[in-house]
Amino acid sequence: MKKQLTICLMTAMVMTTTSLLTSCDQRQHENPLLEESTLPFGTPDFSKIKVSDYLPAFEAAIQQQRDNIQKIVDCQESATFENTILPFEDSGRLLDRVSRIFFAIVEADKTPEIGDIEKKVQPMITDLENEISFNKPLFERIRQVYDSEHDALQGEDQKLLEEIYKEFVRKGALLPDDKMERMKEINRRISDLQQQWGDVLPDATNNAVVWVDTKEELSGLSDADIAQCAKDAESRGGKAPYAIVIVNTTQQALLASLDNRDLRRRIFEASVHRADGSGEYNTFPIACEIARLRAEQAELMGYENYASYSLEKAMAKTPDNVYAFLKDLISQYTPKAETETRAIEDFARKTQGADFQLQPYDRFYYSAKMKKELLNISDDEVKPYFNIDSVLINGVFYAANRAYGLTFKQLDNIPTYHPDMKAFEVLDKDGSPLALFYCDYFRRPTKRGGAWMDGFQKQSHRWQQQPIIFNVCNSAKAPDGQPSLLTWDEVTTMFHEFGHALHGILSNCQYNHLSGTSVARDFVEMPSQFNESFASIPEIFDHYARHCETGEAMPADLKERMLQSITFQTAYALGENLAATCLDLAWHMLPSKDVPTPDQAAAFETEALRRVGLLNPQIPPRYSTSYFNHVFGGGYAAGYYSYLWTEVLAVNIADVFAQRGALDPATGQDFRDKILSRGNTGDLMQFFTDFTGMTSPDASGLLRSRGL
């Protein structure tokens, strides 16, 4: 999902727009980032924002938060919720706005100019975070309120106080001076390293493009895919007539279609070696230093390792609980994976000979052929029915209408940061404006890999603001005049990311600090995982799966075969996720003294996977260390397990929907009221219990849902 900024958890401003204007000079008055937008919902006016506006906007917003914090510290009255906690909640509202706009661009359209500004901005933000986190007079006032008022407060007021106090403690507010200074140094260094990671990895991935000289080498690809390869080659300098772009995961979707085995090998090796030190790009030094510094952070705070420190605030609570969950899955998964691999290799040997040895770059290819033979279906047969526009309007939006009563109105007069982006007004069931939603679905060299949700603005009753949410994906944009068609995986990705969007759109909270997706990592993926289930509900599927030329619904026979194929040989997907999860935990279970050096990193990864029984060359991790952006560039350190953990929650919730009626409006409203609207305003397990009636998640349905 999205890149997380600690500063976004310390947001808001006390000053009104009028007082802001009096505190800024004339040059700043003209900066659209420092003015309230006049567009609907106060959304950013990208027709006015210039690259040169960002740095002065950050300077002004950071200074404003410093001033607001100082006012809290200078207050001569005894600390109270009203004069300390609420002003703190409001202290960085302007910075929240500027940060959200700027870092959305960093992720989705990072030009060299934006990258240069990011290098200047990140240290400024880190320094401010350190100033706030280790401001002793400020924390003393917060602690006084916590000690005196916590038990007397109720609802969101109590939760806000509790979250703010605990965040300060977790960041080191109670540390002695020497350890506090070291924690500041670590924070600065990690920020710098993640900046480096964010620069190197996209460049490495772009550089890993595989150039192809002849159309004949692309045998097996559809005409549309070949046209896309030509377009990608042109956009990347035209070193050859065709280019195959590497996406963020280890495996590459085109491997399922390419007949040329040597080209398949080149693509796979380009993917796995994109940033591992075998070429110009090497992220191992960055990853190893980040891991060591995180371990030291945990040790300064009195924890054995970073995983123990991080998981304390999650639903899982401890590494032991996570490993118990994973070991149970691994034991059930392993024999199914072995059976699946043998079946694919045996199938390949029927045409390639008895001595044929299946390689990881062969697996998708022969699995697709096997699926075609057994189920008489292929991706090329179904892709014409997955036009991206129909999936969005007739699938993603239609499901939200049926379940939650939402409608979507496209706004053509809203400026966006890129021409590919679209904007929609979201209307509630009574027709009232609820949110603004943007989508940016097509890949480009300036966009990082993957898919995510974030927002230009979170919902907050206190700030009288409605949510402005966006989804970003990396699907291929068809040449002009041709429809952009999706794979089934890309279809479910759109539904997944919109589940996150709904978590933001339907938020109904008092405080920005608690609203929307401001929940634990092992809960935040649940609404998105659950929303994927709508993609295959018959009524929804029939509404969007229509031929891109004729508009005809997918024929019943093809639909049946396609839905059967969803659970065909799914051990691979579970295995690559389990491997990545265990790799993440392995790095973050280490004490600082045991973190490997960069030249030992690859061997450490191999040993970590062997130790948990997941060293399988046929099923490599979804992300290896050198390109594991969730963990080393994002906010999922010791938390990648949350995708599997929340899948269990999602399966349990989907079962409730199925029992009550998958598209029953009353069930949708219940889910909205008890989970989607609540943000982090209460106990997350209690939210789950309130909706499902279950006192704890039931993992038994996970393998069943995957067809295993």
Which positions are annotated as active-site residues?
A: 497
Tokens 């377009």 appear where? 231
Dihedral pair phi/psi, residue 335, rounded to 5°:
-65, -30
Q: Write out the DSSP string of 222-270.
A: -HHHHHHHHHHHHHTT-SSSEEE---SSSS-GGGGT---HHHHHHHHHH
β 433-442/468-475 pair status: parallel
Distance CA 33, CA 11 (A): 16
Distance CA 81, CA 91 (A): 14
- Residue 241: how many other CB atoms lie within 10 Å: 16
Tokens of 683: 């106990």
Tokens of 429: 């069931």
Dihedral pair phi/psi, residue 465, rounded to 5°:
-130, 145
Tokens of 632: 């080393």
Distance CA 414, CA 669 (A): 30
Q: Write out the DSSP string of 74-131.
A: H--SPP-IIIIIHHHHHTTHHHHHHHHHHHHHHHH---HHHHHHHHHHHHHHHHHHHH
* DSSP class of 383: G
How far is the CA of 132 from the CAs of 145, 301, 548, 572, 599, in angstroms? Answer: 17, 18, 54, 45, 37
Question: For 419, what's the count of Cα atoms within 13 Å in the CB-facing half-sphere?
Answer: 1
Distance CA 706, CA 572 (A): 11
Single-letter amino acid, residue 199? D
Distance CA 299, CA 180 (A): 12
Question: For 54, what's the count of Cα atoms within 13 Å in the CB-facing half-sphere?
Answer: 22
Q: Write out the DSSP string of 471-520.
A: EEEEEPPPPTTS--B--HHHHHHHHHHHHHHHHHHT---S-GGGSTT-S-
Edge-first strand listing for the sheet containing 407-410: 407-410, 422-427, 433-442, 468-475, 452-457
Distance CA 301, CA 551 (A): 60
Contact between 583 and 605 (Cβ < 8 Å): yes
Contact between 456 and 467 (Cβ < 8 Å): no
Positive or negative, the Cα torsion across 36, 37, 42, 47? negative
Single-letter amino acid, residue 533? S
What residues pair up with 243 in beta bridges, in sequence order?
211
